[in-house]
Amino acid sequence: MSTLTAPRALVAPRPTGTTRIRRRTTRRLGPGRTLPGGAALGLVALLAVWTIGSATGFLDQRTLSAPWTVVTTTGELLEQGRLQENLAVSAQRAFLGLALGIVLGTLLALVSGLSRWGEALIDGPVQVKRAIPSLALLPLLILWLGIGETMKVVTILLGVFVPVYIHTHNGLRTIDARYVELAETVGLSRWEFVRRVVLPGALPGFLLGLRFAVTGAWLSLVVVEQINGTAGIGYMMELARTYGQTEIIVVGLVLYGVLGFGSDALVRLVQRRALTWRRTLAD
């Protein structure tokens, strides 16, 4: 036989020495409210450390140029026209490789996502390509295509199309089968089905892939330009290394950072605009 005892909360509180009442609160597990200007905080802190380090002489000018040196050097390079010239060359390469890579990745994802034959033929090779860094293909590409523009654009393309393919394909494959059924009952044609259901359904995946692709394009650009360049930001930095011009190297680094961050922000903006229908946790 067992005796029933009331749960502890129902029993009169045991007399304790203190009369302090503690309010029982639920523990908050989420990250909490967003900080105002939180996104820039880390960057500002980094800049501050850099500035203070340079001003106090803690950072040697030959190791890392001071922020103001970088600013003045940028001004000089702009005056000489070297910066614009190299930037234009770099941007052209990046955009060409990016554009071609996006088109290739999207097309492959569509073919692979919409037909079983396409998937059987395309998905395997792309997954293998994914396992090989495009930079590892560089020696082969140089042998095949030489060291000209084609090689550079192709290298960027190869780095770009994989994330676009992976995420678009995943987006396609995760479109709810119920929508496919709906499309059948309302009698959509194959093309209408692609336009009304498949493309918008795969758009979130595509845009995620695009974010990876954009960052990847700049990454590949750095490598191809530093290896066999005659122009471009990477070439400019490589040249500066030969002459020990730290400040120009830092200008190039800052430029890469700004370009990468800027283009990612641009894609995120597009993402927000294009996916207004979606309500997610982050909103």
Binding-site ranges for another protein (CB under 8 A): 178-179, 181-188, 192, 196-197, 200-201, 203, 276-279
3-state SS, residue 183: helix
3-state percent breakdown (helix, strand, coil) of the chain, nearest 5: 75, 0, 25
Contacts of 47 (CB under 8 A, 6+ apart): 67
Q: Of 195 and 268, which has the nearer Cβ to another protein? A: 195
Q: Which two tokens stand for residue 39?
A: 């996104």
Residue 254: CB atoms within 10 A of its CB come to 14
Q: Which two tokens stand for residue 118?
A: 């396409």
What's the min distance (Å) between Cβ of 194 and another protein?
Answer: 13
3-state SS, residue 7: coil
What's the min distance (Å) between Cβ of 193 and another protein?
Answer: 9
What's the min distance (Å) between Cβ of 201 and another protein?
Answer: 7
Q: Of 104 and 175, which has the nearer Cβ to another protein? A: 175
Sign (positive/negative) of CA torsion 98, 100, 103, 106?
negative
Host H or E run for residue 210:
helix 199-227
What's the min distance (Å) between Cβ of 181 and another protein?
Answer: 6
Q: Of 64 and 183, which has the nearer Cβ to another protein? A: 183
Q: Which two tokens stand for residue 62?
A: 């030959």
What's the min distance (Å) between Cβ of 187 and another protein?
Answer: 6
Q: How far apart are CA 91 and CA 102, in angstroms?
A: 16
Q: Of 96 and 275, which has the nearer Cβ to another protein? A: 275
What's the min distance (Å) between Cβ of 183 and another protein?
Answer: 8
Q: How far apart are CA 129 and CA 9, in angstroms?
A: 62
Pair 62, 240: CB distance under 8 Å: no
Q: Of 79 and 283, which has the nearer Cβ to another protein? A: 283
Q: Of 67 and 200, which has the nearer Cβ to another protein? A: 200
